[in-house]
């Protein structure tokens, strides 16, 4: 919560040669570039950052972004030990890995390039509005960048023009055709992916179309948690409907989705957990 220039902030981070954990909230710079030989954990949240980059952070293991409201370029350069990453947001984040900009038109063979993947990431969190086809395509492109995910968190977002990089609104159409025709998404087919959590689930058909795709492709999935938030809906009806549809899904590993109803977590608790290294997975409920 301080006023500081882009250049001074960057110099300060670089000059702190023993710095291991960095939390930046409510800061003024629109550009944040991380260069640190010691940094292990970083959180950037509740700020108006427009250009964020991990330039050189060889020991960085955890990167948590909570930057709603503005379009943000997120560039990940050199972070060979990055293990935990989130939330990437299909509504506002323009993801760049080294010199390759990730977009919804990239083909699977392009995504297989070593220059466009981060194999070290094991825990990934992504926010997407399943009602907007453009965002669904971005979700597939984002996931192709992380082939070795062990735990995947997906936050299902409602359309909100104030936090959308696109004027596109949900069309009401179902996106089953896209998931039937989309190319391979390696992290979902990998035997490494053992756990998936869908947060803020509402039981919309497009959410289930994604789960059908997961059920068809996930070869190692052992745990699926579907989390409904209290106060979101006429809860009893949604719970019963979602239970029925989840039971109809047939996963390759024989698992069944577990439906949970949880209270909404406050933003302060979320930010605190992000930099608490006693939480191996900062996105878990």
Within-domain flag for 91 = yes
Number of structural domains found in the chain: 1
Residue 234 pLDDT: 61
Q: What is the mean pLDDT of the chain?
A: 88
Listing DSSP states for 157-202 in one string gives ----GGG-SS-----S---HHHHHH----HHHHSTT--EEEEES--
More confident residue, 119 or 162: 119
Rounded Cα gap, residues 122 and 226, in angstroms: 20
Q: Report whether pLDDT(109) > 70.
A: no
Within-domain flag for 59 = yes
| pTM of model > 0.95 | no
CA dihedral for 145, 140, 126, 187, sign (positive or negative):
negative
Within-domain flag for 112 = yes
Percent of the chain with pLDDT over 90: 61
Decide: 39 and 19 in contact? Cβ < 8 Å: yes
pLDDT-derived band at 218 (thresholds 50, 70, 90) equals very high
Within-domain flag for 280 = no
Residue 110 pLDDT: 42
Q: How many CB atoms lie within 10 A of CB 124?
A: 26
Within-domain flag for 279 = no
Residues spanned by the domain of 123: 6-274
Q: Report whether pLDDT(175) > 90.
A: no
Q: Which of 16-20, 46-50, 68-72 has the lowest mean pLDDT?
A: 68-72
Within-domain flag for 283 = no
pLDDT-derived band at 74 (thresholds 50, 70, 90) equals very high
Quote helix, strand, coil % in the chain, to nearest 5.
25, 25, 45
Q: Report whether pLDDT(160) > 60.
A: yes
Within-domain flag for 30 = yes
């Amino acid at each position: 919560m301080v006023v500081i220039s882009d250049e001074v902030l960057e110099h300060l981070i670089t000059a702190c040669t023993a710095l291991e954990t960095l939390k930046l909230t409510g800061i003024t710079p629109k550009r944040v570039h991380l260069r640190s030989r010691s940094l292990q954990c970083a959180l950037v949240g509740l700020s108006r950052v427009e250009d964020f980059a991990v330039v050189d952070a060889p020991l960085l293991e955890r990167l948590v972004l909570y930057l709603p409201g503005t379009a943000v370029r997120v560039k990940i350069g050199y972070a060979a030990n990055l293990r935990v990453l989130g939330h990437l947001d299909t509504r506002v984040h323009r993801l760049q890995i080294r010199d390759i900009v990730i977009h919804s038109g990239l083909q699977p063979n392009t995504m297989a390039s070593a220059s466009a993947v981060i194999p070290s990431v094991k825990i990934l969190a992504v926010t997407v509005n399943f009602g907007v086809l453009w965002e669904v395509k971005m979700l597939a492109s984002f996931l192709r960048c992380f082939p070795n995910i062990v735990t995947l968190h997906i936050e299902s977002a409602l359309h909100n023009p104030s936090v959308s990089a696109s004027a596109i609104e949900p069309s009401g159409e179902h996106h089953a055709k896209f998931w039937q025709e989309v190319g391979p998404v390696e992290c979902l087919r990998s035997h490494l992916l053992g756990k998936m959590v869908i947060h803020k689930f509402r039981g919309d058909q497009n959410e289930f179309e994604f789960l059908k795709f997961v059920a068809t492709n996930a070869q190692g999935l052992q745990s699926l948690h579907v989390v409904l938030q209290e106060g979101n809906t006429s809860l009893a009806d949604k719970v019963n409907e979602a239970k029925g549809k989840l039971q109809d899904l047939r996963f390759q590993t024989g698992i069944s989705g577990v439906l949970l109803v949880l209270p909404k977590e406050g933003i302060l608790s979320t930010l605190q957990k992000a930099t608490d290294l006693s939480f191996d997975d900062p996105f878990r409920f």
